[in-house]
Amino acid sequence: DAKTTQPTSMDCAEGRAANLPCNHSTISGNEYVYWYRQIHSQGPQYIIHGLKNNETNEMASLIITEDRKSSTLILPHATLRDTAVYYCIVRVGAGNQGGKLIFGQGTELSVKP
Amino acid sequence: GAVVSQHPSWVICKSGTSVKIECRSLDFQATTMFWYRQFPKQSLMLMATSNEGSKATYEQGVEKDKFLINHASLTLSTLTVTSAHPEDSSFYICSASSGLGEAFFGQGTRLTVV
């Protein structure tokens, strides 16, 4: 699976949009971009995933560049409860060890009042 | 999303004893389950992949005789830490996949070996 690069930490003001970048320049054509987050002392929580089109759900939006070498997770109105470590993971989709995720260091997002 | 439950949430055991951690998928059948370990201030490290009815596949550097994994049914996988030592103290997390999409994680088990 391709390697990802994320900033170590970011701050965001409560109520503002949080934009978390991820570089995955070695991504292959059949690899998806997944985002998970981990709130302190809890198991990771699935947020969103995509292949090449932008995706949106009730939690966030995922913007993938046309060349697929980078992506941005957008939390439209960050709250204090969004403070967590956010992981961007690239992997082949379901069917090939479906669910196996290799975690990098992630981005520690701090949402401040 | 789907629910994955781990038990216990935390456990304290004496050095030299064994500890069993359970991971259950509550509302779907998990063909594959994964076990991770996480030390303080570090990311999750994949330990092993277990498929229902077959032997687990361990990641490089993980001792299979120390971390026994059993995936006897489509809803239950267990991780047994044998002859636990203080260096095994960690946060153990499981995830489950139906093979159709994303994996879902349990809430984690905090193991402290004294």
pLDDT tens-digit profile of B13-52?
999 999 999 999 998 888 889 999 999 999 999 999 988 8
**pLDDT tens, residue by residue, A83-93:** 999 999 998 76
CA distances from A62 to A1, A35, A54, A66 (A): 19, 9, 6, 13
Q: How far is A66 from chain B (nearest CA, A)?
A: 23
- B58 in contact with chain A, both atoms CB, cutoff 8 A: no
Q: Nearest CA of chain B to the CA of A38: how many Å? A: 10
What DSSP character marks residue A5? B
pLDDT of residue A93: 61
Q: For residue A106, give the nearest of B43, B103, B107 by CB distance.
A: B43
CA-based end-to-end distance of chain A: 37
Q: How far apart are CA A97 and CA A40, in angstroms?
A: 27
Identify the CA nearest to A74 among candidates A93, A48, A112.
Answer: A48
B10-20 per-position pLDDT tens digit: 999 999 999 99
pLDDT over 80 (residue A98): no
The model's confidence at residue A97, banded by pLDDT at 50, 70 and 90, is low
Q: What is the pLDDT of residue A68?
A: 96
